[in-house]
Amino acid sequence: MLLVMDVGNTTTVVGVFDGEKKLAHWRLSSTLHTSDEFGVYLLTLLGTKGLSPKQIDGAVLSSVVPFLDGPVCEAIRTFFEVECLRVNASTDIGMEIRYAAPLEVGADRLVNALGGREKYGSPLIVADYGTAITLDVVSPDGAYLGGVIAPGIHSGIAALFGKTAKLPQVGVELPPFVIGRNTNESIQSGVLFGNAGLTDRLVEMIQAELKLEKKISVVATGGHADLMARIARCIDHVDPWLTLDGLRLIHGRNSKSP
């Protein structure tokens, strides 16, 4: 079985595959820092699904938090006795990268692009709603072109709360109206409907820039994918665990390499 992990600034996503079948997946807060913490946490997660660490014979990691890469890989080596493949821009992912500075691309963005291309074809835009909102673009011939990075939903709410004297911290809930009837609803409306409009407009501009005659397909992923798909008009598919599928594909490609 394959253990897959994507470590983000706010959340860490973990999954287990048996071949192409996803047996389990979890979305956790990124609050762990030591290899022992990661190891115990992973063992506990597997235990909730009746899985043994001895069943894990492969592991793959993407991360945008470099100082956690070492502890995660050490935990997997110690507790599961396997070496973890770390995905970065130099990893053979089976996709041409046409970014001007390939080493600057977050591993999660490449993983999402590959997973999206394999599941939904190309051209494609993958909209990932995490700490940041990223739109990653796959060309008609299947290459990674680049994309857009914007502040995420939680980032926007936290910025309002942290930088203003009277605005409260609010939950990520869809308000009943665009015109908020109180301060909480007003903030939720601005952040959620505002980001839906941002997504729609950026997709429209990408479509025009690529000079595509047919509408480009858009897949939403990340923790708020379901919510944003309800209010952004451009989204065609919702796949909250797309990153895990991309990691599985990359591991399969590299484990077969001589």
Which residues are designated catalytic? 108
Report the phi/psi class of residue 213: left, alpha or beta, with left for phi > 0 and alpha for psi in -120 to 50. Answer: alpha
Angstrom distance (rounded) from CA 2 to CA 18 = 6
- Residue of 232, 252, 233, 218 lying closest to 2 (CA atoms): 252
Angstrom distance (rounded) from CA 80 to CA 123 = 38
- Say how many Å lie between the first and final Cα of the chain, rounded: 21
Rg of the chain (C-alpha set): 19
